Chain A
């Protein structure tokens, strides 16, 4: 079966993000960019399913600027077979889901594995939206995925613990942190990935209108929390909590 993994190019999680002085967004010029960490987990899961012989082909898709090629190459180096880059910037989850739907209709995958959340917009929405548009089942926040007999058994990280659902294929899965530990691509695999094909498209080629629905009126620094002070002992701490902060 074929599997699709959408991978997003985002500001690396180690970067200290700064708000632009004019309040229009955050500074992304000359900032290290990476594959969204949850998407690395998605690619890793896809590759493991291929290694188990369940999946035969993995297609990595990114919607973003031309440089998102780099994130597709990373996915290819980890073990994806080919890539699709849809050149569009500032797309919102709904538009991304529409683009992915069009690609899914063309590629006919049995499973799409996405990250649960992009660490830039923190929306946690695209996978669920794609499942809706395709009319497919969804297993979000997965910490375990098993595929057999036309179904996916997905263990999900929920508020009180874990929950397991059985999804009829085709299905959407979104990854949580405990699903796996993504591998590093080896040098030979990075070299091999250079020869794997990447197709480039525009939303219009897929018949998708990617016009945003949201207007960002402003982006500001969140209120700063001021550091308090150090206490010298446990006794002093408890005294302060009781008599100064009055929280215990």
Chain B
């Protein structure tokens, strides 16, 4: 059994969710190969991951921006050598892997949260309200991995060879026009040790900056509820939840967030949860380890000061 993991990269290193996907692959068993699209430096970082036997680098303009059509065609060309094809459940993985699965006539299993065997996996359904165990009859398995459910493999410790990907057809169906990727000094949400998230209660983009001050003190990433994103207080990639990012930091601080099931689906695996809300009946308190009832506009400056 050999497993291929499609890597996601942030800048020049493979992302932490990719390392979680490799951990899931290791649990399934067998040799693990990693495919990196565009980015020789990221391929080098993948080669250092423990448990990785080989890195395949697909360089070239078709792969640079991770467009789904050429990436899926390449994965299909590589597929005969593999029993399982995995990717982290990031925007990239979710864009590409279902396309790969359909080309292989396989039913994808998205966002696996547990491995029960080579063909049996656990995953959440209904916004995390239920946990299903599913067994596939497809010979080849195509999966995305819910990173929050698998401790990432360490960043160092292995030394795999890097080889160039074989040529594959490159369907010119779409082209990359541009991107607005916010450069931030803060950690990425899916890799952060501490996250502070704000909700509708923040009231404006200016007010949202109160969270930045506390985030600075804690070295935290900043997240948001859907309501805060929809209202334009925070950018879309900050959304935590069922249909946003799924996070599992050591500490998650929810500020002015009510705790709708769709939000909880994205953060309830956090180790320690703090809720700050003026409504003591807010459902977020039902999952919080520490709850603080009060007005966030009074409490946040106090918190900033207390953290020194």
Contact = CB atoms under 8 A, between A and B. Distances in A.
Interface of A: 11, 13, 16-19, 26, 38, 92-94, 97, 116-117, 119-133, 135-141, 143, 153, 156-168, 171, 176-178, 212-222, 225, 227-231, 233-235, 237-238, 240-241, 245, 247-248
A125 B287 CA distance: 30
Contacts, number: 268
B230 A177 contact: yes
Given A129-B101, A163-B179, A227-B287, A94 B107 contact: yes
B174 A166 contact: yes
Chain B binding surface SS class: mixed
Contact of A143 (B126, B236, B302): B236
Contact of B272 (A171, A227, A241): A241
A177 B226 contact: yes
A215 B102 contact: no
12 contacts: A97-B102, A127-B98, A137-B69, A137-B173, A138-B174, A141-B94, A158-B179, A159-B245, A165-B175, A213-B107, A221-B130, A225-B268
The 10 closest A-B pairs by CB, nearest first: A137-B173, A228-B289, A128-B98, A132-B102, A129-B102, A125-B98, A213-B107, A160-B181, A164-B177, A17-B129
Given A132-B103, A222-B131, A140 B68 contact: yes
Given A129-B99, A163-B176, A168-B172, 7 more contacts: A18-B129, A121-B125, A132-B98, A157-B237, A165-B177, A215-B136, A241-B272
A89 B125 CA distance: 17
B206 interface: no
Contacts of A156: 91
A163 B65 CA distance: 10
A231 B135 contact: no
Given A13-B262, A129-B108, A138 B69 contact: yes
A219 B132 contact: yes
Contacts of A130: 102
B156 interface: no
Contacts of B106: 94, 213
B291 A234 contact: no
B156 to A, nearest CB: 24
B178 A135 contact: no
A247 B177 contact: no
Contacts of A158: 91-92, 179, 181, 237
Nearest to A129: B102
A231 B291 contact: yes
A228 B101 CA distance: 42
B130 A19 contact: yes
B120 interface: yes
Nearest to A222: B131
Interface string B90-119: 111011111111110111111100000000
Nearest to A238: B306
B307 A238 contact: yes
B60 to A, nearest CB: 18
Given A177-B243, A238-B303, A122 B135 contact: no
B237 A17 contact: no
Contacts of A162: 179-181, 236
B53 interface: no
B203 interface: no
B250 A119 contact: no
Given A97-B102, A160-B10, A215 B135 contact: yes
Given A129-B98, A245-B289, A213 B125 contact: no
B165 interface: no
B200 to A, nearest CB: 14
A166 B176 CA distance: 6
Nearest to B293: A230
Contact of B177 (A19, A166, A220): A166
A26 B179 CA distance: 40
B101 A123 contact: no
Contacts of A94: 101-102, 105-108
